[in-house]
Amino acid sequence: MPAMTNDHLPRTNDEFRAFVASVEAHPGYQRPVAFAVGIASYAIGDWDHPGTVVPGAKVLDTWYPVVNREENYGAAAVLAHVTGHLSGSGTVSLTLEMLDRALACFACFAGDGKRHANIEAIQMARDVLAAPVSPDPLAVPRAPVVSFVGALEDAPADASGVYLRLHLLSARKVQPHGQNLAGIFGLLNNVVWTDIGPYDPDTFDRVSMRARSHGRALRVSGVDKFPRMTDYVIPSGVRIADADRVRLGAHLASGTTVMHEGFCNFNAGTLGVSMVEGRISAGVVVGDGSDVGGGSSIMGTLSGGGKEVIRIG
């Protein structure tokens, strides 16, 4: 798409709508079914400057403060315009120039008294990118990205795209089995989850030695490809007694309570009011008004050979 000069920045709401229409009329452009601006964390690649993102580094996680599904197409058009993304699924690393151009496109909304979550996310991304690299010897490299989903039927294209799909589930934008999650285990990297950030297991011994040499002890909560949901998404109207028991990608409807021995995996969960005192394995769906009793366990799709889907209620 052609770059937009300052002379053509939308100055009014009408001009913004006209700008969005011009982007959407571009040959080959297709509205994404979902998109989000987020912050990706990477494996340390430069041990002299650990907070610096090294090209080709493993993506350890991606956090999206707001996710969009079939909504906010104006913001999608702006992000597509500044990144050159036309259609399909994929993730683009954001530069300061891209972020500044995006914020300039939204200038007409400044001071209108309304909250614009996507604009806030873009501003947050700019703040992260513009901040000086942390001198902390344990700093986790971070950088802003934007991920697009062309169609829910398409498989994810990259690790950040997988995280967007998991956020969509936990934010209740997509129900379990409502999107294609094929290949996600191959796209996700194994991660050491600590109280100060994610790290690459292959080099965690160096991280641990650095921490100890500075009088710091890291608390490791797990070594896995999936993090805790509550570190990324807090759905409204739920109670979770032990955050370690709910993975990112769990779908918990309002009115759900997950007790201490309850568990909910990704691409699984509840569709209404439910008391969960047992295990909801991957792929399992519990209907409104149904409970999972203490200590019970429901076989998941992964254990069932990848094809058997169990629903209760």
Q: Is the pLDDT of residue 296 over 60?
A: yes
pLDDT of residue 309: 84
Q: Is the pLDDT of residue 203 over 60?
A: yes
The mean pLDDT value for 56-71 works out to 98
Is there a single domain that holds both residue 92 and residue 130?
Answer: yes
Run of H or E residues at 93: strand 90-93
Is 70 catalytic? The answer is no
CATH number for the domain spanning 298: value is 2.160.10.10
pTM over 0.75: yes
- Indicate the range of 162-166, 223-227, 230-234, 288-292 predicted with least confidence: 288-292
Q: Is the pLDDT of residue 304 over 70?
A: no
- Indicate the range of 230-234, 302-306, 307-311 predicted with least confidence: 302-306
Distances (CA, A) of 68 to 5, 87, 130, 232, 241: 27, 16, 25, 15, 28
Residue 168 identity: L
Q: Is the pLDDT of residue 277 over 70?
A: yes
Mean pLDDT of the chain: 95
Is there a single domain that holds both residue 262 and residue 311?
Answer: yes
- Whether the CB-CB separation of 69 and 229 falls below 8 Å is answered with no
Q: Is the pLDDT of residue 255 over 60?
A: yes
Please give the structure tokens belonging to residue 126. 């700019």
Q: Note down the domain range covering 22.
A: 6-150+178-224
Indicate whether 173 belongs to any domain. Answer: no
Q: Residues 27-55: pLDDT tens digits?
A: 999 999 999 999 999 999 999 999 999 99
Q: Tell me whether residue 307 is exposed, middle or buried, using C-beta atoms within 10 angstroms of its C-beta: 0 to 12, 13 to 18, 19 or more.
A: exposed
Run of H or E residues at 42: strand 34-42
CA distance 141 to 52: 5
Is there a single domain that holds both residue 129 and residue 273?
Answer: no
- Whether the CB-CB separation of 29 and 87 falls below 8 Å is answered with yes
CATH number for the domain spanning 80: value is 3.30.70.2010
The mean pLDDT value for 258-280 works out to 97
CA distance 233 to 115: 19
Indicate whether 29 belongs to any domain. Answer: yes
Is there a single domain that holds both residue 136 and residue 11?
Answer: yes
pLDDT of residue 146: 99
Please give the structure tokens belonging to residue 231. 């570190």
Please give the structure tokens belonging to residue 197. 């950030």
CA distance 64 to 210: 29
Indicate whether 160 belongs to any domain. Answer: no
Helix residue spans in the chain (DSSP H): 13-24, 73-83, 96-105, 117-130, 159-170, 184-187, 204-213
CB within 8 Å of 150: residues ≥ 6 apart: 30, 32, 33, 87, 88, 89
Give the domain-ending residue among 224, 255, 280.
224
**With bands split at pLDDT 50, 70 and 90, how would you rate the model's confidence at 1?**
low
pLDDT of residue 235: 98
**If we measure between CA atoms, which residue out of 170, 176, 213, 211 comes closest to residue 192?**
211
CB within 8 Å of 163: residues ≥ 6 apart: 38, 61, 62, 63, 64, 147, 248
Distances (CA, A) of 67 to 174, 254, 291: 11, 18, 29
Annotated catalytic residue, options 15, 97, 120, 277:
277
pLDDT of residue 206: 97
Is there a single domain that holds both residue 135 and residue 61?
Answer: yes
pLDDT of residue 313: 86
Q: Is the pLDDT of residue 295 over 90?
A: no
